[in-house]
Amino acid sequence: MAMPRDAVFALALFIALVLSVALTVLAASGHFPPEHRAASLRSGLGRIILFGACVISALALVVGAAVAWPVLPWPAAVIGAGAAMLAAPLLLRPLPDPFVNGRAALLAFAGASALLTVALVLLQ
């Protein structure tokens, strides 16, 4: 079964969205339990950034999946999303520790998730 040509760009956006959400989850996972949280994320603003990035990424994934569902063939979506989740730790590893352990990674990955979702919505 061949994938329609118009679904290829949507598939690429969906895979990038899953990768961005996975990177957000990995960056946030290093801040739990709270005793291991960076000093910049212990304040009120830091908690808002930490949990806000998680909420934004989760909403982006739900909306992006809902938008992509009618367009993408499910085998391609499952394989692409699985590959993105497997690649996330490998892509996060070479990034500098101050970036990953601070606010910047959370803001960057959550922002990328939101932008990719907007692109998926506008594509429809």
Three-state secondary structure string covering the chain = CCCCCHHHHHHHHHHHHHHHHHHHHHHHHCCCCHHHCCHHHCCHHHHHHHHHHHHHHHHHHHHHHHHHCCCCCHHHHHHHHHHHHHHHHHHHCCCCHHHHHCHHHHHHHHHHHHHHHHHHHHHC
**Is residue 60 a part of any domain in this protein?**
yes
pLDDT tens, per residue, the chain with 124 residues: 677 888 999 999 999 999 999 999 999 987 777 777 777 778 888 889 989 999 999 999 999 999 999 999 999 999 999 999 999 999 999 999 999 988 999 999 999 999 999 999 999 8
Residue 79's domain comprises: 6-123
Q: What is the pTM of this model?
A: 0.91
**Is residue 79 a part of any domain in this protein?**
yes
**Is residue 118 a part of any domain in this protein?**
yes
**Is residue 69 a part of any domain in this protein?**
yes
**Is residue 88 a part of any domain in this protein?**
yes
Domains identified in the chain, total number: 1
**Is residue 80 a part of any domain in this protein?**
yes
**Is residue 1 a part of any domain in this protein?**
no
**Is residue 36 a part of any domain in this protein?**
yes
